């Protein structure tokens, strides 16, 4: 039942936005009255928490095949990592917003829900470190560049390709700034 409730909340978020989720609407989707939701979640924030953990766990599950196919060429590998997250993010705006923006007043993920995001970032940091000597602030800038492109896509080109078309160039600019050699691929 918890899975059905979370899925219903995602469906509502995709239809009307994250901030428009109501317990009444979620309950109606799963065939119960709103007070009955408290049997499974102690609050709407708890549903958001489950959604947050769900989103990061889902993204984390996409990493093994990506890592298995990473190029040995550092610049190409950074392009693969960047594009993988970018494509995942633009495929589902509410999911990206919950994962990476703070749209819900008062929402802060629990340590349990936050754990997959910490593992993903640590894994990305270790992967990038295995490719090149990149300082923590340079790693943060890389994250910010990709996040900024995603935000531009949603704000100014939803469904379009204008922003997507510059992802490679933006990653190359970052790679140049940190001294990654040009791709041999």
**Pair 122, 62: CB distance under 8 Å:** no
Does residue 101 register a pLDDT over 80?
A: yes
Give how many domains the chain has, as a whole number.
2
Residue with structure tokens 């995942």? 88
Q: Are residues 161 and 116 in the same domain?
A: yes
Query: What percent of the chain stands above pLDDT 90?
Result: 89
Distances 68 to 44, 87, 100, 157 between C-alpha atoms, Å: 38, 18, 25, 32
pLDDT band, residue 164 (cuts 50/70/90): very high
Mean pLDDT, range 88-112, rounded to an integer: 96
Over the chain, what is the mean pLDDT? 94
CA 144 to CA 136: how far, in whole Å? Answer: 12
Q: Are residues 81 and 149 in the same domain?
A: yes
Q: Are residues 16 and 85 in the same domain?
A: no
Q: Are residues 84 and 17 in the same domain?
A: no
In a domain, 165, yes or no: yes
In a domain, 22, yes or no: yes
Does residue 185 register a pLDDT over 70?
A: no
Distances 30 to 1, 4, 16, 27, 87 between C-alpha atoms, Å: 8, 7, 17, 5, 30
**Pair 44, 21: CB distance under 8 Å:** yes
Q: Are residues 116 and 148 in the same domain?
A: yes
Q: Are residues 2 and 89 in the same domain?
A: no
For residue range 112-138, what is the model confidence (pLDDT) as tens digits? Answer: 999 999 999 999 999 888 888 889 999
90-117 burial code (b ≥16 CB/10 A, e <16): bebbbbbbbbbeeebeeeebeeebeebb
CA 119 to CA 110: how far, in whole Å? Answer: 15
Structure tokens at 173: 């600019």
Q: Are residues 8 and 68 in the same domain?
A: no
CA 84 to CA 59: how far, in whole Å? Answer: 10
Q: Are residues 140 and 114 in the same domain?
A: yes
Report the pLDDT value the prediction gives residue 132, as an integer from 0 to 100.
83
Spell out the residues 6+ positions from residue 178 whose beta carbon is closer than 8 angstroms to its own.
132, 134, 138
Q: 3-state DSSP call for residue 32?
A: coil
Segments forming the whole domain that contains residue 131: 56-178
Q: Are residues 125 and 93 in the same domain?
A: yes
CA 144 to CA 147: how far, in whole Å? Answer: 5
For residue range 31-77, what is the model confidence (pLDDT) as tens digits? Answer: 999 989 999 999 999 999 999 999 999 999 999 999 999 999 999 99
Q: Are residues 5 and 83 in the same domain?
A: no
DSSP 8-class letter at 69: T
Q: Are residues 34 and 115 in the same domain?
A: no
CA 43 to CA 52: how far, in whole Å? Answer: 14
């Amino acid at each position: 039942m918890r899975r059905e409730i979370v899925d219903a909340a995602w469906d509502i978020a995709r239809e009307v936005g994250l901030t428009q989720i109501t317990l009444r609407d979620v309950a109606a989707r799963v065939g119960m009255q709103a007070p009955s939701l408290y049997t499974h979640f102690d609050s709407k924030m708890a549903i958001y928490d489950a959604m947050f953990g769900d989103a990061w766990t889902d993204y984390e599950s996409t990493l093994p095949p990506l890592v298995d196919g990473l190029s040995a060429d550092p610049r190409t590998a950074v392009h693969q990592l960047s594009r993988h997250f970018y494509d995942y993010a633009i495929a589902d705006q509410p999911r990206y917003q919950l994962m990476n923006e703070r749209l819900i007043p008062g929402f802060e993920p629990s340590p349990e829900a936050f754990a997959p995001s910490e593992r993903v970032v640590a894994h990305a940091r270790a992967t990038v470190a295995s490719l090149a000597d990149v300082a923590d602030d340079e790693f943060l800038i890389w994250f910010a560049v990709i996040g900024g492109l995603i935000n531009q896509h949603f704000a100014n080109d939803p469904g379009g390709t204008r922003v997507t078309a510059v992802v490679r160039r933006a990653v190359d600019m970052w790679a140049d700034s940190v001294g990654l050699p040009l791709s041999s691929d």
